[in-house]
């Protein structure tokens, strides 16, 4: 792999960028691999990278029906945080934040992780009490947190609505200073380039059509390019996890919904942190280019159509204007939707699928981007060692049978 550096940037700047070369190969698939990973989104590529880097398994194909990073990895609002309520979730998402902190260096690719903080607003005294509970839970979980009063919130985000007659007056906030945003495409590209350099074959425009089963064991996949056999198969396909499960003959505790996001035209800097108002269900940050990036709740209609519906668009934009009325004349540039895999407890599924040889990394719902490094790291550990990492153990599929759910949606009151 040709290393990227300031020197190389300077050098290529002088020669018109002619020496950059391709960031990854476009290989023909072999007939047989040690591991086949379905889906070249962030989670699939990071699984491949950590299998190769941490466990020395490099005979891997990552098979993608479209282009790499073209699903939810390229459609999210790029927030990264670990401000969760339950210890299990805090450990999981904080592993991800810690990996993100070193990722640009690890991958030799700038993922532009900007730890600009993530504020969750409280709009009443009862909400302040719940905010204090959230703050205490975070501190007990070992996560950095600050409990801010209205004055402090105003200092950090003066663009919010501080009028006395505001429908949602701002009483304070819980802030996670290490939270922030990253560059979503760069995360996919960085993992792809680093995995490719370790020998991983990334095969794009190749849809998996079926599983090869022998004696009840999954021994490979049928694809648009023919049969590919493998010792282990991992499915990292987010909103399409139930479709993959259906091919293998089982069902998952997942509903697929559209989640919408929005970006405005570029504006001068008005907001240098991420702000979420749980009361109105909208969150927002400003990208380095100046676009105001925001999103909100799921569409309430189960869907595989990668676009959103009007009622949720109205609720998200209306909610935003409640706490940032100054944005009322802002023009939207784009709006889009991705299909997310929602579990009953809003927590992910990592580990064996129940079918021998087939592993799952899914169920991240609306929060998959922030978890990309951890999802790949933990699934790679489970596949390579045959044992769960202690952080991924609680997130095994078996929790739906034992009843030991990790019900973040009910506990934290934060959008996922």
Partner 1 sequence: MQIFTCPFCGPRDEREFHFIAEAGKTRPDTLNQISDEDWAAYLHSHRNEKGHVREIWMHTTCGELFLLERDSVTMEVLGSTALREAGQ
Nearest to 90 by CA among 154, 137, 57: 137
Q: Which of 18, 28, 151, 251 binds partner 1 (CB under 8 A)?
A: 251
Q: Which of 304, 326, 333, 404 binds partner 1 (CB under 8 A)?
A: 304
Q: Which of 310, 328, 331, 386 binds partner 1 (CB under 8 A)?
A: 310
DSSP 307-322: S--HHHHHHHHHHHHH
Can you tell me which residue has the tokens 């690719």? 109
Q: Does 246 bind partner 1 (CB under 8 A)?
A: yes
Of the pair 82, 241, the CB lying nearest partner 1 is at 241
Q: Does 216 bind partner 1 (CB under 8 A)?
A: no
Of the pair 332, 405, the CB lying nearest partner 1 is at 405
To partner 1, the closest distance from the beta carbon of 310 in angstroms equals 5
Q: Does 353 bind partner 1 (CB under 8 A)?
A: no
Task: Name which of residues 61 to 80 contact partner 1 (CB under 8 A).
Answer: none
Q: Which of 97, 200, 252, 383 binds partner 1 (CB under 8 A)?
A: 252
> What sign does the CA torsion over 96, 277, 328, 163 have?
negative
Contacts from 144-150 at CB under 8 Å and sequence distance 24+? Answer: 144/176, 144/177, 144/178, 145/83, 145/174, 145/175, 145/176, 146/174, 146/175, 146/176, 146/177, 147/172, 147/174, 148/119, 148/172, 148/173, 148/174, 148/175
Q: Radius of gyration over alpha carbons of the chain, in Å?
A: 21
Size of the site for partner 1 (CB under 8 A): 24
Contacts of 164 (CB under 8 A, 6+ apart): none
Q: Does 328 bind partner 1 (CB under 8 A)?
A: no
d(CA 165, CA 103) in angstroms, rounded, equals: 44
Q: Does 302 bind partner 1 (CB under 8 A)?
A: yes
Q: Does 221 bind partner 1 (CB under 8 A)?
A: no
The C-alpha angle 299, 91, 401, rounded to 5 degrees, equals 65
Q: Which of 102, 199, 305, 318 binds partner 1 (CB under 8 A)?
A: 305
Helices 87-101 and 372-385: crossing angle, nearest 10°? Answer: 100
Q: Which of 400, 407, 411, 413 binds partner 1 (CB under 8 A)?
A: 400
Q: Does 253 bind partner 1 (CB under 8 A)?
A: yes
Q: Does 254 bind partner 1 (CB under 8 A)?
A: yes
Of the pair 368, 376, the CB lying nearest partner 1 is at 368
Q: Does 54 bind partner 1 (CB under 8 A)?
A: no
| Residue 182: both structure tokens together | 């990253």
d(CA 269, CA 361) in angstroms, rounded, equals: 37
Binding to partner 1 by CB under 8 A, coded x per residue (else -) over 126-165, reads ----------------------------------------
Residues that bind partner 1 (CB under 8 A): 240, 242-243, 246, 251-256, 300-305, 309-311, 344, 400-403
């Amino acid at each position: 792999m040709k290393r990227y550096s300031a020197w190389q940037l300077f050098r290529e700047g002088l020669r018109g960028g002619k020496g950059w070369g391709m960031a990854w190969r476009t290989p023909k698939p072999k007939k047989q691999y040690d591991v086949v990973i379905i889906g070249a989104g962030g989670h699939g590529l990071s699984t491949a990278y950590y299998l190769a880097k941490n466990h020395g398994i490099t005979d891997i194909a990552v098979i993608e029906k479209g282009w790499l990073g073209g699903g939810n990895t390229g459609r999210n609002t790029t927030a990264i945080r670990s401000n969760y309520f339950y210890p299990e979730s805090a450990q999981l998402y904080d592993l991800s934040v810690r990996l993100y902190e070193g990722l640009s260096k690890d991958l030799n690719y700038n993922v532009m992780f900007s730890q600009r903080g993530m504020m969750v607003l409280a709009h009443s005294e009862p909400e302040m009490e719940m905010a204090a509970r959230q703050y205490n839970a975070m501190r007990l979980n070992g996560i950095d947190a600050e409990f801010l009063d209205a004055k402090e919130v105003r200092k950090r985000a003066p663009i919010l609505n501080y009028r006395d007659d505001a429908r949602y007056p701002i009483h304070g906030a819980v802030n996670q200073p290490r939270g922030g945003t990253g560059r979503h495409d760069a995360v996919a590209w960085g993992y792809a380039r680093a995995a490719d350099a370790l020998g991983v074959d990334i095969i794009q425009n190749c849809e998996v059509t079926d599983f090869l089963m022998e004696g009840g064991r999954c021994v490979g996949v049928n694809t648009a390019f023919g049969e590919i056999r493998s010792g282990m198969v991992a499915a990292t396909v987010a909103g399409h996890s139930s479709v993959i499960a259906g091919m293998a003959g089982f069902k998952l505790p997942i509903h697929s919904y559209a989640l919408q996001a929005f970006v405005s035209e570029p504006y001068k800097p008005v907001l240098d942190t991420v702000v979420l108002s749980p009361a109105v269900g909208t969150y927002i940050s400003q990208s380095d280019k100046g676009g105001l990036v925001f999103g909100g709740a799921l569409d309430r209609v189960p869907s595989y159509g990668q676009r959103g519906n009007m009622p949720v668009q109205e609720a998200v934009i209306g909610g935003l204007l409640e706490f940032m009325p100054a944005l009322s004349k802002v023009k939207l540039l784009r709006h889009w939707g991705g299909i997310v895999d929602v579990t009953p407890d809003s927590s992910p599924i990592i580990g064996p699928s129940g079918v021998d040889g087939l592993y799952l990394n899914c169920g991240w719902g609306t929060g998959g981007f922030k978890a990309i490094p951890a999802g790949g790291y933990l699934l790679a550990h489970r596949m390579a060692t045959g044992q769960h990492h202690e952080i991924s153990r609680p997130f095994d599929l078996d929790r739906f049978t034992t009843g030991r759910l990790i019900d973040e949606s009910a506990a934290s009151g934060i959008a996922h």
